[in-house]
Structure 1
Amino acid sequence: MTSIFLRSLVYNVLFYIMLVFWVLVGLPTFLMPRAAIVNIAKWWGRSSIWLLRVVCNTKVEFRGTDKIPQGPLIVAAKHQSMWETFALLQFFDQPLYILKRELMWIPVFGWYLKKADMIDVNRGAGSRTLVNMARRAGEEVRRGRQLIIFPEGTRRAVGAPPHYKTGIGQIYADSKVPCLPVALNSGLFWPRRNFMRYPGTILVEFLDVIPAGMDRREFVTLLGNMIENASNRLIEEGQREQAELFGRVPTPLAYAEKAPADPA
C-alpha cells in the first residue's frame, strides 16, 4: 500500500498542476466561441485520464459508446467520484452541467464555467429556484445541448443506498428529449473525499436510451433501476479485478476508512 500511497500523492500533485496548465493555455478562448473552451475542457479530461493510467496504473474501459445518440440529450450518470465530471466530456459536442454556485466564484476557473454557459444553482434555495433551474436546463437541451447530470445530486460512496432526486424527472419532462443512462464503478478506484487512487480498470457503460415522453415518475423509477443494476454489476466486476491485485475483495467503504481525506 505504500507504493499506492506514493503514486496517489504524485498523481494528485500532477493533476492540479495539469489543471493550472490547461487554465493558462485556455486563456485565449475567452475571445473565442464557446466551443473553444469546451475543447480545452475535453483535452484536460483526456490528459487527466492518461495521467491516471501512467502514474497509478488505473485504466478505463468505455462500453456501449455506439448507443450515444446525436443532438439534444440528457446524460444521467451514476456519481461516485470527481473522475466522471471530466471523463464524460469527451463524448459530447455541446456539454452542459448544473453546478453549485460556489464554483462560479473560483477565480479564472469560474470564469471558464460562465463562458461555457453552465447553469449554477444555489443548493440552499427554495423549491421555486430549483424549478426555474430545471426549466432553464430544459430550454438549453432543446437548443441542442447535452446535459450531463448526476441524478443523486452528489457523490455517493460505493455501497451506499441510492438516492435519486425528483429534479431529473422535472428536467426530463420539460426538455422532451431522450435520456442516456450511464453506469460506472469509479468509486472503487477514485473514492469520493479520498486521497487514494487505486490501480485497476474503471468501467463506464452507456446503457439503452430512454425515449422522451414517459410519465415523469415512471421515468425516474426506470432510470434508477437501470443505473443501479448496471453499476452494481460493474462494481462486482471491479472488485473481482481488485481481488486478483490485492489478494482479497475489498469491502465497499474500506478505502474511505483507511485513507486520508481529500477535498476533491
Structure 2
Amino acid sequence: MNAMARPPSLLWSVYEHVAMVVGLGALAVVCLSWSPLALALYPLLPGPLGRWLGRQAIMRGFRLYVGVLRLLCACRFDLTALDALRDQGPMVIAANHPSLLDAVLITSRLPNAVCIMKASLMDNPLFGAGARMARYVRNDNLLGAVLSCRRELRQGAQVVIFPEGTRTQGYPANPLNPLSRSTALMATRAAVPVQTLIIEFSSPYLGKGWPLWRKPSLPLTCRIRLGKRFEAPRDARAFTTELEAYFRAELAQPSMA
C-alpha cells in the first residue's frame, strides 16, 4: 500500500478523539466561567461600560480558547488579516459560514464586534448572559435586528453577520448557501460599508450536519482573509445578488487552508 494512502494510526485516532473532547470542554469552561459574572453584572453596570466589558471579555476569552486549540488540539489558524479591521470604524462584516467556530475566530480578534445570533443561542445558558451583556443582536425579528444593528453601528461597533443565515450545507463541495437580504438592509439603514471575509477550512468539521461527537480529522487548518469592501448599498436586492456572486467567485478558487 502506498504510504500516502495508509489509514491513520490507532494512536493518532485516539488523539483526535481526545482533542475533540479537550476542544469542546475548553469552550464550555471559557463560557461558563464568564456567564455567572455577566449575569450578575448586566443589570448593575451602565450601558456603555457593560457593553465594553462584555465585548472585551468575549474577545479575550475566545482568544484564550483559540490558543488552547492551537496548543493542544493540532489546530492551525491564520487570523492575522482580521487585525487590520480593529481601528477602521463601524462597518458590516459579512462572512461565509462553514463551521460553528467562525464567530469564535472572528470575535477573538475584534474588540468592538457585535454578532447577530439565533434567538436559541441568546437564550442558551452557555452563551446567553455574555452575549446580552455585549449587546449582541437577536435575529428572530428582522426589523428589530436591523434597528438594533443601526444603533450599534452609530455607536462605533462592527456588526458581524453571516448572510447565509446558517452554516453552509455541504461545505466544501458546496461552498455557499443562498444569501438573505439582511446584510444589505443593515448596511443601507446605517449607511456603512460592507467588508467581506472569506473563511476557508481544511475540513467540514463542525459544519452543517456534523455531529458534536464526531471526531475531526487533524490537523485542522483555517484561514480567514479580507475580501472586497463594498460601499454602503442603495438597492438591497441588487446588492445581495452582487454579494452572492462575489462570494461564489472567491470560494471557487483553490483554498489556501
TM class by shorter-chain length?
Answer: 0.7 to 0.9
May I ask how many residue pairs the two structures share in their alignment?
Answer: 231
Matched residue type, 1:176? A
Alpha carbons of structure 1 residues 19 and 62: separation in structure 2 relative to 1, 3 Å: closer
Matched residue type, 2:223? L
Could you tell me which runs of 5 or more consecutive residues in structure 1 were left unpaired when the two chains were aligned. Answer: 123-128, 239-264
What is the match of residue 189 of structure 2? 174
Counterpart mapping for 1:41-120 below 5 A? 41-62=58-79, 64-65=81-82, 68=85, 70-107=88-125, 109-120=127-138
Q: CA RMSD in A?
A: 2.5
Alpha carbons of structure 1 residues 35 and 136: separation in structure 2 relative to 1, 3 Å: closer
SS of 2:138's partner is strand
SS of 2:229's partner is coil
What is the match of residue 229 of structure 1? 249
Q: How big is the shift at 1:116?
A: 1.5
2:235 is the alignment partner of 1:220: no
Matched residue type, 2:180? K
Q: How big is the shift at 1:55?
A: 3.2
Q: Is the 8 A contact 1:189 1:199 kept in 2?
A: no
SS of 1:162's partner is coil
Q: Is the 8 A contact 2:61 2:108 kept in 1?
A: no
Distance 2:220 2:124 in 1: 33
Relative to structure 2, which stretch is displaced further, 202-211 or 213-222?
Answer: 213-222
Distance 2:206 2:72 in 1: 17
Q: How big is the shift at 1:111?
A: 1.6
What is the match of residue 21 of structure 2? 13
Q: How big is the shift at 1:105?
A: 2.3
SS of 1:202's partner is strand
Matched residue type, 2:166? T
Q: Is the 8 A contact 1:65 1:206 kept in 2?
A: yes
What is the match of residue 184 of structure 1? 199
Matched residue type, 2:215? M
Q: Is the 8 A contact 1:185 1:203 kept in 2?
A: yes
What is the match of residue 141 of structure 1? 153
Relative to structure 2, which stretch is displaced further, 20-29 or 158-167?
Answer: 20-29
Distance 1:145 1:76 in 2: 14
Alpha carbons of structure 1 residues 212 and 202: separation in structure 2 relative to 1, 3 Å: same
Alpha carbons of structure 1 residues 5 and 141: separation in structure 2 relative to 1, 3 Å: farther
- TM-score (structure 2 length as normaliser): 0.78
Identify, as 1 or 2, the structure richer in helix. Answer: 1
Alpha carbons of structure 1 residues 206 and 218: separation in structure 2 relative to 1, 3 Å: same
Alpha carbons of structure 1 residues 144 and 60: separation in structure 2 relative to 1, 3 Å: same
Matched residue type, 2:149? A
Q: How big is the shift at 1:24?
A: 4.8
Q: Share of identical aligned residues, percent?
A: 21
Q: Which deviations, in whole Å up to 9, do the C-alpha atoms of 1:23-75 show, x marking residues without a partner? A: 35434454352222222222232233223233342211236447526211100
What is the match of residue 178 of structure 2? 163
Distance 1:196 1:230 in 2: 29
